[in-house]
Amino acid sequence: MRTDVRRGAAATGRDQFPVGMRVLAVDDDPVCLKVLETLLRRCQYHVTATNQAVIALRMLRENRDMFDLVISDVHMPDMDGFKLLELVGLEMDLPVIMLSVNGETKTVMKGITHGACDYLLKPVRIEELRNIWQHVVRRKFSTRDSVNLDTYEECNKPPSADSDYVFGQVTCGSPDQSGRPSKKRKEYHSEEEDEDEDSSGQDNDDPSAPKRPRVVWSVELHRKFVAALNHLGIDKAVPKRILELMNVEKLTRENVASHLQASHLIYFLVVISRLVPCVFHTCRALSVLQPAARHSEITFAKYRLYLRRLSAVASQQAGIVAALGGRDPFLRMDAFEGLQGYQAFTSPAALSTFSAHGLLNSPRNNQTAVVIQGVATSRSIPTGSSSCTTNPLIGDAAKYHLSLPGNQHGNLGQGLATSLGQAQLQQKWMNEGSGDLSTILSGNSRANGMPRMLPSVTSSPLLPPDLVECTQAKVAIQPSVRAPSASVELLEGAIGASSGPLESRVSQQSALPSSGFSANMLPVHGSFSNNGASFSSNGATRLGDAFSASFRPTNDLTVARGTKVGAGSFGGTIHLSPDTEQKYVSFGSSDSLLDPKLVWSSSQLPSNIGAHYHSMSQRSNNCSIDSSHGGRMFGQTSASASTAAPQTKFDILFSGDTSMARNASESGAQRLQSELSSSTCSFDGLLNSMIKVEKDDAAFGGDDLGCDFYSLGACI
Amino acid sequence: MAVAALKVQLNALLSNMFATGMVDEQFQQLQSLEEGGTASGFVAEVATLFIEDADRIIADIAALLDQPVVDFDKVDAHVHQLKGSSSSVGAQKVKLACMHFRQFYEAKSKEGCLMALALVRSEFCDVRNKFQTMMQLEQQIEACSPK
């Protein structure tokens, strides 16, 4: 076949996008190619045309950055368009538009599943071509570092990669770091692909057809894999059964096994990689704050040790993975994971903790006392759940000051208000807090706090009716009229906050959180009433079913809460054993907020608090916290899910510090503003626990919560 | 004067092609591209490409159908290509004939295919003649006008 490569004139300036967009057109049909090329030129793109897919592939490989977009015919003699599409998807992060005269649904679907960003029918019209630049922009915006749908993974594919959640952002760095690695996933050259190039003319549509022992885990295949996994459940997912369920030809049990293993490994790595920075950050923050309590210092030390260990392991594993796959495992994982919550999780964790500090510590010593008092007073309230309110304190230092020690309620109310303004409140927090607050807070405090809240509330179109209703119901208990509105606003704010961090994927994620949110609200309230061990998992994460938290329920109070922020979902489990003024946070880290002495969970908490939650669809997340060690986090939520566990944990720890500099609290607040804070949940939990402590009988936390969350997770 | 007459003739030819449904709006689009841009002779180029290509494809299909055992998958591929090519140039009737062809190779009916091929060929000959006439007229106009 004659080769025919026509290159367009030099690219025009890139500033006037889409003019000069570099398009590679591939079509074996000279007529179509000529027309296509001309049409593209007419659109002022910089066109390179070739009539052979093999040549196209070579050009793409040789000049990776020479093209912005590929338009390829489906039917080509030398290489099937889908094959080209797949290879391009694997090797470079380029949008590919398929072109065919065949508009059958099946064919179009095939194009989509292979990762085509568009599927045009011949004859192509210039109107369609004028618009294709959007794919380039879209790709750049939404998936800068994110995963390309078709990833070919021998061993690097994390199971959690759900196609819907592909737009994960990678944030491995410090919490503040909102930036994502701009590094694109590329340069994955394998001999295999080269072989494909050489063996032109073969029609290799089936990604699973292994001519070699290596198996290309195409998106489609991986989907099947995940589906099988979901079906079986993480515990029962053995390669053989997965293979059966997948029902893919030529796929061997070994392939599945290695994929499964790789998935686990990657998952673990991801968890670690996320966890480590957070922890470090937390430690730093703590040291800055100069935790008054010695205990806290000790715990920090422990954590550091632990972190060191973790990081060592992580690096080791990373090395292994790198050696195996020759790629950056973290990057990879991130991309695959598409952890939405990731960002939120990593960055907010430390921040959230800060905020927690502020709340707990109430910057001023006096105020701390006051807060505590306030809590105590709050207990008088029948509902008994007022913890949430305290959290807000962080937000506004000024307000905080304003609040008079004498007025415990007043303080609380203000705190709430401030928090609202920040809009960083977690959903859960919102729910509980709003409801509780309204009930708890006296009219005065509300008066102060409310105004603030109102302005802060921006727009929460997504508010689930359920939530509002719930809060209102709670409010109803309280005579105050304002309460309900406040709560609603709070909720709204929370929603907004959650959506914020997502940025690029706002649409998808934002919607999700809201739904989860509403669902969560109710359960949370219910939990408060219950005594005994309470476990809460976040709804957003799919952890739900598998999530089994083994907390030693002390007869005292155990408050478990799971807070989820829509995008960055937080799974917070607070395990409080309030009996002797000591509070334990689940996940092994226990802080006594009220107590002058910080007591760590190790002493009183059950030796092992392990929360294992598996997100069936995505991966198994294990949160096993060793109380003795202070805290251990193994689990991570799945991609879609948030890594709630770690955050919660951190938050709790911070809250544990009673001696928090006011500065710290302030800074925390600022940070919180910029980012979502998941700590609120923990805060709430703490406060509640405190309150509860004051109360003899009151017990918070209910198993119901967990269930509800699960359901939420499922819904999501 | 000659030029004007030629142009009239050309326009009549083109409008006739549209009127008979031989070409569709895709062809129109190609023309508009030519008019609006610097790519003069673009339509002629595409038409030439199409004629060559379609001619080859039709010959290939005929050869395939001439075999004792017809490989209908290959026929499918060829017809498909012809369809893509004709639709790109806007040769509507050829495209329709190709779509008509489809039912026969799907039914693996050799006779049906031969029939359909005859139709395709006849449509192609029609459009080829028109295209060739069109290009001749254009050349004549080109030759006359620049003075």
Q: Of all residues in chain A, what percent carry a pLDDT higher than 70?
A: 22
Minimum-distance CB partner of A35 among B46, B81, B83: B46
* Reported confidence tier of residue B63, pLDDT bands at 50, 70, 90: very high
Give the pLDDT of residue A631.
33
Domain boundaries, chain B: 3-33+40-144
Query: What residue of B is the nearest CA neighbor of A44?
Result: B37
Sign of CA dihedral B29, B30, B33, B34: negative
Give the pLDDT of residue B52.
93
- What is the pLDDT averaged over residues B130-135? 92
CB A342 within 8 A of CB A170: yes
CB A115 within 8 A of CB A96: yes
Q: At A548, phi and psi to the nearest 5? A: -120, 120
A548/chain B closest Cα distance in angstroms: 56
Q: B146 touching A, CB under 8 A?
A: no
Q: How far apart are CA B131 and CA B96, in angstroms?
A: 18
Q: How far apart are CA A322 and CA A120, in angstroms?
A: 39
| Chain A contact probe: residue of B85, B94, B127 with most A CBs at under 10 A | B85
Q: How far apart are CA A326 and CA A188, in angstroms?
A: 8
* Complex-level ipTM: 0.92
CB B123 within 8 A of CB B97: yes
Highest mean pLDDT among A69-78, A169-178, A636-645: A69-78
What letter does residue A184 receive in the DSSP assignment?
P
Q: Which residues of chain B are within 8 Å of residue A29 when distances are taken between CB atoms?
A: 53, 81, 84-85, 88
In the block, residue with structure tokens 């063996």:
A199
Q: How far apart are CA A641 and CA A542, in angstroms?
A: 6
| Chain A contact probe: residue of B88, B95, B98 with most A CBs at under 10 A | B88
Q: B80 touching A, CB under 8 A?
A: yes
B2/chain A closest Cα distance in angstroms: 31
Residues paired with A35 in a beta bridge: none
Q: A580 touching B, CB under 8 A?
A: no
A42 contacts B88? CB cut-off 8 A? no
Q: How far apart are CA A111 and CA A346, in angstroms?
A: 36
- What is the pLDDT averaged over residues B46-66? 92
Q: Which residues of chain A are within 8 Å of residue B83 when distances are taken between CB atoms?
A: 101
Alpha helices by DSSP H, listed for A171-293, are 191-198, 219-232, 239-246, 253-289
Q: How far apart are CA A248 and CA A246, in angstroms?
A: 5
Minimum-distance CB partner of A31 among B37, B77, B89: B89
Structure token pair of residue A453: 């809240």
Give the pLDDT of residue A345.
36
Q: A107 touching B, CB under 8 A?
A: no
Q: How far apart are CA A272 and CA B8, in angstroms?
A: 78
Q: Which residues of chain B are within 8 Å of residue A35 when distances are taken between CB atoms?
A: 30, 46, 88-89
- What is the pLDDT averaged over residues A217-241? 71
Spatial CB neighbours of A416, under 8 Å, sequence gap ≥ 6: A388, A389, A391, A392, A433, A437, A441, A449, A453, A486, A490
pLDDT of A691 higher than 50: no
Sign of CA dihedral A576, A577, A581, A584: negative
- What is the pLDDT averaged over residues A324-337? 36
B45 contacts A126? CB cut-off 8 A? no
Spatial CB neighbours of A698, under 8 Å, sequence gap ≥ 6: A379, A384, A557, A691, A692
* Reported confidence tier of residue B126, pLDDT bands at 50, 70, 90: very high
pLDDT in tens, A635-672: 333 333 333 333 333 333 333 333 333 333 344 334 43
Q: Which residues of chain B are within 8 Å of residue A122 when distances are taken between CB atoms?
A: 84, 87-88
B113/chain A closest Cα distance in angstroms: 19
Structure token pair of residue B91: 């040769």
pLDDT of B116 higher than 70: yes
3-state class of A359 per DSSP? Answer: helix
Q: How far apart are CA B140 and CA A221, in angstroms?
A: 59
Q: How far apart are CA A439 and CA A443, in angstroms?
A: 10
pTM, whole model, 2 decimals?
0.39
pLDDT of A257 higher than 80: no
Q: Please name the helix (run of DSSP H) or strand (run of DSSP E) that holds residue A26, with its range, or none.
A: strand A22-26
- What is the pLDDT averaged over residues A140-157? 46
CB pairs under 8 A between A and B: 65
Question: What average pLDDT does the structure give for chain A?
Answer: 48
Q: Please name the helix (run of DSSP H) or strand (run of DSSP E) that holds residue A33, with its range, or none.
A: helix A30-42
A44/chain B closest Cα distance in angstroms: 11
Structure token pair of residue B31: 């023309």
- 3-state per-residue secondary structure call for A557-621: CCCCCCCCCCCCCCCCCCCCCCCCCCCCCCCCCCCCCCCCCCCCHHHHCCCEEEEEEECCCCCEE
B29 contacts A125? CB cut-off 8 A? yes
Of A132-141, A212-221, A476-485, the poorest mean pLDDT is in: A476-485
A125 contacts B84? CB cut-off 8 A? no
A38 contacts B90? CB cut-off 8 A? no
Give the pLDDT of residue B38.
61
3-state class of A22 per DSSP? Answer: strand
Sign of CA dihedral A586, A592, A597, A598: positive
CB A394 within 8 A of CB A665: yes
Highest mean pLDDT among A22-26, A251-255, A559-563: A22-26
B90 contacts A123? CB cut-off 8 A? yes
Q: How far apart are CA B72 and CA A165, in angstroms?
A: 42
Structure token pair of residue A582: 């000591």
A125 contacts B26? CB cut-off 8 A? yes
Q: At A447, phi and psi to the nearest 5? A: -55, -45
Q: B58 touching A, CB under 8 A?
A: no
B110/chain A closest Cα distance in angstroms: 23
Q: How far apart are CA A704 and CA A534, in angstroms?
A: 8
- What is the pLDDT averaged over residues B43-72? 91
Q: How far apart are CA A621 and CA A613, in angstroms?
A: 5
Minimum-distance CB partner of B85 among A32, A41, A126: A32
A42 contacts B37? CB cut-off 8 A? yes
pLDDT of B118 higher than 90: yes
Side-chain half-sphere CA neighbours of A361 within 13 A: 34
Minimum-distance CB partner of A35 among B36, B37, B89: B89
A225/chain B closest Cα distance in angstroms: 32
pLDDT of A242 higher than 80: no
- What is the pLDDT averaged over residues A253-267? 65
Starting at the edge strand found earlier in the chain, the sheet holding A548-550 runs: A548-550, A608-614, A620-626
Give the pLDDT of residue A265.
56
B39 contacts A41? CB cut-off 8 A? yes
pLDDT of A420 higher than 80: no
Minimum-distance CB partner of B46 among A34, A101, A126: A34
Q: A125 touching B, CB under 8 A?
A: yes
CB A648 within 8 A of CB A582: no
A126 contacts B85? CB cut-off 8 A? no
Q: How far apart are CA A251 and CA A377, in angstroms?
A: 65
* DSSP secondary structure, A336-352, as one string: HHT-HHHHHHHHHHHHH
Structure token pair of residue A440: 């708890």
Spatial CB neighbours of A461, under 8 Å, sequence gap ≥ 6: none
Q: Please name the helix (run of DSSP H) or strand (run of DSSP E) that holds residue A71, with its range, or none.
A: strand A69-73
Q: At A452, phi and psi to the nearest 5? A: -60, -45
How many other CB atoms are there within 10 angstroms of residue A13's CB atom?
Answer: 8
Q: How far apart are CA A153 and CA A239, in angstroms?
A: 17
Q: How far apart are CA A578 and CA A599, in angstroms?
A: 11
* DSSP secondary structure, B17-84, as one string: HHHTTSB-HHHHHHHHHHHHSS-TTHHHHHHHHHHHHHHHHHHHHHHHHHSSS--HHHHHHHHHHHHH
| Chain B contact probe: residue of A28, A31, A51 with most B CBs at under 10 A | A31
* Reported confidence tier of residue B12, pLDDT bands at 50, 70, 90: very high
Q: A31 touching B, CB under 8 A?
A: yes
Length of chain A: 716
Of A86-90, A201-205, B5-9, B114-118, the poorest mean pLDDT is in: A201-205
- Angle at which helices A482-502 and A340-361 pack, to 10 degrees? 140
pLDDT of B122 higher than 90: yes
CA-closest candidate to residue A514, choices A573, A446, A560, A468: A468
Q: A34 touching B, CB under 8 A?
A: yes
Pairing of strands A608-614, A620-626: antiparallel
Question: What average pLDDT does the structure give for chain B?
Answer: 88
3-state class of A381 per DSSP? Answer: coil
Q: At the fourth CATH level, which superfamily is domain B3-33+40-144?
A: HPT domain (1.20.120.160)
pLDDT in tens, A492-524: 333 333 333 333 333 333 333 333 333 333 333
* DSSP secondary structure, A488-551, as one string: HHHHHHHHHHHHHHHGGGHHHHHHHHHHHHHHHHHHHHHHHH--S------SSSGGGGT-EEE-
Alpha helices by DSSP H, listed for A114-235, are 126-130, 133-142, 191-198, 219-232
Q: Is A297 exposed, middle or buried (0-12, 13-18, 19+ CB in 10 A)?
A: middle
How many other CB atoms are there within 10 angstroms of residue B107's CB atom?
Answer: 11
Starting at the edge strand found earlier in the chain, the sheet holding A5-7 runs: A5-7, A46-50, A22-26, A69-73, A96-100, A118-121
Q: State the amino acid at position A54 in one-letter form.
A: V
Q: Which residues of chain B are within 8 Å of residue A79 when distances are taken between CB atoms?
A: none
Cβ within 8 Å of A, B 30-49: 30, 33, 36-37, 39, 42, 45-46, 49
A78/chain B closest Cα distance in angstroms: 13
B88 contacts A36? CB cut-off 8 A? yes
pLDDT in tens, A352-371: 333 333 333 333 333 333 33
Spatial CB neighbours of B6, under 8 Å, sequence gap ≥ 6: B137, B140, B141, B144
| Per-residue burial over A372-405, b = 16 or more CB atoms within 10 Å of its CB, e = otherwise | bbbbbbbbebebbbbbbbbbbbbbbbebbeebeb
CA-closest candidate to residue A619, choices A237, A301, A204, A183: A237
Q: How far apart are CA A463 and CA A440, in angstroms?
A: 23
pLDDT of A573 higher than 50: no
